A and B are shown apart, each in its own frame.
Chain A
């Protein structure tokens, strides 16, 4: 029963091992000369200024919330899509209603400028 997950488990374990090796090797054999420049956050060569933890605009939050809502919508698609062929036309209509309701909301959000980045 859990055998299906062995591939995923293997992937996770391998990913952790590879990451550990990559960091570990550098840590073990790399030269360590501490300088002030080196301990600065890497900003593609620019000298960083200001605190690193500035407040983000509320837009990000809105985008994340919208993402969650449509993510949940997608979650409903999954079981439906698997049995789509058996369900026939009726199943298609029901899903169309489901999507239509959310589509109205999507268009509304669009129209209200929620998707724009001012």
Chain B
């Protein structure tokens, strides 16, 4: 009796296991490619400032504070979608918000900051994707959490809203915030 029960239950079990695995696979977002840069030093860069043409900015701006490096562009609808939340975070949090304007044109970018507010403490300008490739950027928006030593601790792909900020990003920021 036990034998014939097993004969039906084992294939059923295997089927259920496979179905669960495949169902889990369906729930994953193939766009979320894990970044190999997490827990590594932020790639070096030397870019012009978006807001102050001629001024050069490099990796030193990331030192001493937890920074959010937000990759954005004026042509990117999801960036516009998250912009309000970034402005709110910049006002309410001590995190250093760095804009990484990517594959964009300066007038359009400045116009967007003018229209929707500028959440960025500093703005990098990378119109031809020079630093973007080093950072492994393949779309906008992407947001990196960089610790005070300049090490990337988290990468968010896709827009940030209040829930993402509170559950995904803020805990990382708090973990690496300098004590005292």
A binds B: no
